[in-house]
Amino acid sequence: MDYAATSPMSATALKAYCEVAERYYGNSASLHDLGGQANYFVEQARGVVANALKVKSDGIIFTGSGTEGNLLAILSLALASKKGKHIISSQAEHTSVHAALNTLEKMGFIVTKLPLKQNGCIQVEQIREVIRDDTALITIQHVNSEIGAIQPVDEIATIAKEADIFFHVDCVQSFCKVTFEQQVDAITVSAHKIAGPKGCGAVYINPKIRVAPLTPGLTHEHGLRGGTLDTPAIVAFATAIEDFHYKQQNYEAFRSYLQENLPKTCRMIECGKQLPNICGILMENVEGQYVLLRLNEAGICISTGSACDIRSESGTKAILSMGYTMGEARQFFRISFGQKTTFKEIDQLLVALTNI
């Protein structure tokens, strides 16, 4: 019940990983035939990622994670902009985004972090209001990993284009599940959220933008990221993309069933638009950490928010930004469904919650 944190590798992705690791183990940057074979598979995979994002493949850079992708995209775009040192984001972004913004603040950038409305979404007009002449970048996540809220990326992209501002979208939680139509300047994705391997992701940076390497002198991935590429993981990532099917109707049925049968002391957080497989829940007078521990004893895995924030004692960024109190934030826990979830498992969860 914690698929928003990660998912098991699919059988086909695992098979692809093992086959490439065993037979095509060359360094993709090497000039001999074994290196050429590895490079062929990397470039084929690059095309798969680009096709899924509806972008050009020469803008795809493979990374070690969604976190690395966010850091690379945000820092690169902010430093590449000629407009100034003002950035717009939200209070509910992933920890890696806040880390990148904190780094930029130390370099003299000013960051405006907008709250979420009660429906879990950013108020688009508020973005217009805070844009300045020196605004260099807008960075917003597509889907919040704590409550599943879907942000109005297309509307924000229109605003960014009108104002000639770079726009980065963190799509780690939304990739292959929900899309947007507008072209943006940078996108971050990750493999393990869609039944691919951990330790592999990608970032798209518009190749028309002149981005200086954060670490000059590197040769891999257009000089933007160093290190030998993990060819088996990259191929497994592409395989997972081709195999992944987001079961919207199944998850809507699971969500409705869970909501209808929750104990009376529990309430589910509803958003204007959200992924149905991510369910944020509050249990009255009980801390989310306690719920997590008790469910773990019953063999049920959940979370109290993003896995990257799990040791934080400040509750979750998303619901605090929505106006919930600190006490309510401490009651928060997250249930998230995946491809192998069943109604039987949800029944087991409901029994355990009722016992708590």
Contacts of 113-119 spanning 24+ positions with Cβ under 8 A: 113/89, 114/88, 114/89, 114/90, 115/90, 115/91, 115/321, 115/322, 115/323, 116/90, 116/91, 116/92, 116/149, 116/318, 116/321, 116/322, 117/272, 117/322, 118/322, 118/323, 119/149, 119/270, 119/271, 119/272
Structural contact between residues 10 and 194, judged by C-beta atoms closer than 8 angstroms: no
DSSP letter assigned to residue 304:
S
CA pseudo-torsion sign 74, 302, 4, 248: negative
Determine contact, residues 266/291, Cβ cutoff 8 Å. no
Assess whether 200 carries a catalytic annotation: no
> Amino acid letter at 7?
S
> Using alpha carbons only, how large is the chain's radius of gyration in Å?
21
Catalytic, out of 121, 176, 279, 308: 308
In 206-340, where do the E strands start and end? Answer: 266-268, 278-283, 332-336
3-state helix, strand, coil in the chain (%, to 5): 40, 15, 40
**Number of Cβ within a 10 Å radius of residue 293:** 11
Give the residue numbers marked as catalytic: 308
